[in-house]
Structure 1
Amino acid sequence: MAKIRVNTRLRIYRLVKPLLKLIMKIKFNLQADLPDEVKELKPPFLILANHQGFWDAASIGVNLSKPVSFIATDAIFRTPIFRKVLNLMGVIPKTKAISDMDTLKNVLRVKSAGGIIGIFPETRRTWDGTTLPLIYSVSKLVYKLKIPVVTAVIKGGYFSHPRWGIHLQRGKILVEYKLLISGDEPGKLRPDEIHPKLIKALEHDEFAWQEKVKIRYKGKKPAESLELVLFICPSCGKHGSMESKGKTFWCKDCGYKVEYNSIRRFVNPDSRVIFNNIRDWSRWQREEFIKFLDSVSDNETILAEDLYLEFHRGFRSAKTEHFAFGSLHLTRQNLTMSDEQGNILNVFPVKELSGIESQRGERMEFYHGNNLYNVKSIKKGLAVNKWLWAFDALLTQ
């Protein structure tokens, strides 16, 4: 993060904010519930939010009088021009899933400058529209900083641009702000007291909310790339058999088919619908996948695999370099990377991997030692969720 230029940032923010707010209104029908106690709160303070989509930071920031320094993945700093813009905006880089002292130093710098610090405690965007578990280290940070905490719950962001989706969808994005910790509370509450408050404040289920409001979302090809999140057919149980086009989602093995309609339900007037929303399908799918993982005890059975991949290597925010095309195969003990001819490039012991995360919805990254590996599909996309679930299960055993 470059040295903070408070006055420069504030001038740019005041210049850009009206245009960005107008764009967000036109594109997404952005609305805000901003109580006076938040509107009049003087920095420094923390703003914590659920993480639904790419536009979350903009959805939150345009409603506030001063710019927010959001903590963001260092992956978005890898393009030189974009890095300059992000530094000017005061964005704080963070390596996903890895402890980073530089991030803490930059956060303290923003606090000292009287700024607003923005954090998404889930650390990753939701795949199924529900709030993910919050990392406990955020509660420790709240305790350490001893400044007020504002929460921002984003509703409709998942339907407007889900992490697996390609095209923007217009319906409504609502941001609800709340002053959660204020007065003499900062510094008095312990992390174990703060954490449940954050969990309760940021809990959101997009599909439960949609059942009440029934907002219609309109845009091109709403089901396109759904197979990045839903990869098991609920009818025949086949893995990797789902395909999408336009608003249609089907299994190429058994023919099970649904359409993803404007209120974001799965429908089929001519056939039985097993799950009518992504959340329920995804929860069932996770249970099935974990059962499969638990049923395998040897180190020969392949738990997850993908072909037609492109491999890049780098480190943190430095630009990654392409080094091969090939495939990945995962067993209980090893992740094997092979080239297009089937020659083994690397065999990574699963227990030695760290920082395993998704990027841009369809890419996977992980660290082995000081090397960052970035993996993407050269076809339609990579079902990263499958890999994350597999690694989570193996690394916690």
Structure 2
Amino acid sequence: MSIKNSVIDRLIKIYINRKINYKVDFGDLNPNREDTYILLGNNSSLLNSFYVSNLLKNKPIVVLNELQKTNRFANYFFANYDFWLFKRNLDFDTVLVKNIHNSLEKNPVLIFPEVETSFFGEVQDIPKSIAKLIKKEKKDVILCQINGSYLSHPRWGLKNTKKGLVEFNFKTILTKYEIENTKLDEIYEIVKDNLKYNDYDWNSKHKHFYNPKNRALGLEGYLYICPKCMKSQTLSTKKNDIYCSQCGHIASFDDFSLINGLDFDNLVSWDQLQKKELPKLSKEVIYSEGSMFSLNPKSMELSSLGHADLEIIRGQLFVLNKMKEYMFEIDKIKGLSLIRRNELFFRYGKKSYLFKLKDPMIIFDGISYTLKNSKKSI
């Protein structure tokens, strides 16, 4: 490891030790193992790549979405630290597959197979391409099951918990010898079954303490339906509490990051409830506002297009800023992604756009719902 990488590595370890309490069970994995393997992890927090890679002597190369480079600080960090590969925002990235193959000659490779970092604390969709990669490389596949990372640092949180417990449990789920005689569908099911997690179910059982100070702040960007009156975009937060402009105080977080005051105690159930309202919301006007940017996909540099008002109306996304009005036919939108906390990205034709939104989730869900139903009608 170079001196520069070594210094950055120490700074990361200091940051991690200040940020979380952690427990590690390496299971059948020797943390000093020198040969290479594919390491899979839960995508429950944007910080998981730092946590996991710093637990192992032979540092893994981490695969990340290249859209993380749109943050200037992150891009500077990535440019000065060598342990990264970047996935382009494409359905299948042949360059990445080649880079993973080459990296596996010297280092393990750490992959978070879920399409998105978890919004509400449970596993997201997992593409079947991960099974093809495993079959092609024929390397041992190690799983790092991560519990508590989401509760410590939910991606919507403005004030994250300090020194929350995060557990890391390693185990081999496929050996290189088993892969040879295992079908693609079976490999996919093994990966899918082992990557399952739900931080709320886990902590309902174990009752670990997560400092609840200002726990709710930022959640109104991800929740858009009040479970009591079923009105949309009426929610606000203060400290540990959630309010509705129609109903008043409706819920609060307890010491275990579980929800009190409703018929359910977790955000997974709340999200399921609000997604059931999408057929109704799709017939209405869905609105948000924020900042609009154009993205250069080669340099990953953003160019500001100013403040923007967004409306989803009858399968179309209208964006109005000081310069012009944009009309995007939603069924032609490609590469839809929600990155970091509130940044919505998509490609349209030959152009790429990024929005930093006040209400990112309702716009993301509204576009996703329309895309899903447009595919069904084809």
User: TM-score scaled by structure 1?
Assistant: 0.86
CA contact (8 A) 2:212 2:253 kept: no
Q: Do the aligned partners of residues 85 and 99 (structure 1) sit closer, same or farther apart at CA in structure 2, a change above 3 Å counting? A: same
Q: Do the aligned partners of residues 16 and 61 (structure 1) sit closer, same or farther apart at CA in structure 2, a change above 3 Å counting? A: same
Aligned equivalents of 2:15, 2:74: Cα separation in 1: 20
Paired residue type of 2:335: G
The alpha-carbon deviation at position 292 of structure 1 amounts to 4.4
CA contact (8 A) 1:310 1:324 kept: yes
Aligned equivalents of 1:350, 1:79: Cα separation in 2: 26
Partner of 1:362: 342
Q: Do the aligned partners of residues 14 and 172 (structure 1) sit closer, same or farther apart at CA in structure 2, a change above 3 Å counting? A: same
Whether 1:143 aligns to 2:131 is no
The alpha-carbon deviation at position 202 of structure 1 amounts to 0.7
Aligned equivalents of 1:220, 1:89: Cα separation in 2: 36
Q: Secondary structure of 2:177's partner?
A: coil
The alpha-carbon deviation at position 23 of structure 1 amounts to 3.5
Whether 1:394 aligns to 2:376 is no
Partner of 2:51: 59
Q: Do the aligned partners of residues 20 and 80 (structure 1) sit closer, same or farther apart at CA in structure 2, a change above 3 Å counting? A: closer
Partner of 1:83: 75
CA contact (8 A) 1:97 1:356 kept: no
The alpha-carbon deviation at position 166 of structure 1 amounts to 1.4
Deviations 1:190-233 (A, max 9, x none): 32111000011110111111111101101541000111221100
Q: Which moved more, 1:21-30 or 1:102-111?
A: 21-30
Paired residue type of 1:315: N
Q: Which moved more, 1:317-326 or 1:123-132?
A: 317-326
Partner of 1:106: 99
The alpha-carbon deviation at position 392 of structure 1 amounts to 4.5
Partner of 2:354: 374
Q: Find the partner of 2:23 among 16, 31, 41.
A: 31
Aligned equivalents of 2:217, 2:62: Cα separation in 1: 30
Partner of 2:293: 312
The alpha-carbon deviation at position 40 of structure 1 amounts to 5.2
Partner of 1:171: 164
Aligned equivalents of 1:324, 1:18: Cα separation in 2: 39
Partner of 2:114: 122
CA contact (8 A) 2:317 2:329 kept: yes
Deviations 1:63-84 (A, max 9, x none): 1112221111212224566435
Whether 1:47 aligns to 2:35 is no
Whether 1:206 aligns to 2:195 is no
Q: Do the aligned partners of residues 61 and 332 (structure 1) sit closer, same or farther apart at CA in structure 2, a change above 3 Å counting? A: same
Q: Secondary structure of 2:248's partner?
A: coil
Q: Find the partner of 2:211 among 213, 218, 221.
A: 218
Q: Do the aligned partners of residues 45 and 230 (structure 1) sit closer, same or farther apart at CA in structure 2, a change above 3 Å counting? A: same
Paired residue type of 1:182: T
Paired residue type of 2:245: K
Q: Do the aligned partners of residues 356 and 79 (structure 1) sit closer, same or farther apart at CA in structure 2, a change above 3 Å counting? A: closer
The alpha-carbon deviation at position 381 of structure 1 amounts to 5.0
Residues matched between the structures, number: 372
Aligned equivalents of 2:98, 2:176: Cα separation in 1: 25
Deviations 1:120-144 (A, max 9, x none): 1112111111111211111111111
Deviations 1:305-348 (A, max 9, x none): 21x321100133520101232212223432222225xx852212
Q: Which segments of 5 or more consecutive residues in structure 1 lack a partner in the other structure?
A: 1-6
The alpha-carbon deviation at position 38 of structure 1 amounts to 4.2
Paired residue type of 1:345: E
CA contact (8 A) 2:222 2:359 kept: no
Aligned equivalents of 1:260, 1:327: Cα separation in 2: 32
Aligned equivalents of 2:276, 2:26: Cα separation in 1: 39
Whether 1:280 aligns to 2:269 is yes
Whether 1:94 aligns to 2:87 is yes
The alpha-carbon deviation at position 85 of structure 1 amounts to 3.5
Please provide the CA RMSD for this pair.
2.3
Aligned equivalents of 2:176, 2:305: Cα separation in 1: 54
The alpha-carbon deviation at position 373 of structure 1 amounts to 0.4
Partner of 1:351: 331
Aligned equivalents of 2:271, 2:176: Cα separation in 1: 41
Name the % identity: 20
Deviations 1:331-379 (A, max 9, x none): 3432222225xx85221222211000001121100001221100113xx
Deviations 1:83-113 (A, max 9, x none): 353243231112335432222222122123x
Superposed, which structure 2 residues align to 1:189-338 within 5 Å?
189-218=182-211, 220-268=213-261, 273-290=262-279, 292-293=281-282, 296=283, 301-302=284-285, 304-306=286-288, 308-316=289-297, 317-338=299-320
Q: Do the aligned partners of residues 290 and 66 (structure 1) sit closer, same or farther apart at CA in structure 2, a change above 3 Å counting? A: farther
Q: Which moved more, 1:274-283 or 1:97-106?
A: 97-106
CA contact (8 A) 2:218 2:237 kept: yes
Q: Which segments of 5 or more consecutive residues in structure 2 lack a partner in the other structure?
A: none
Q: Secondary structure of 2:45's partner?
A: coil
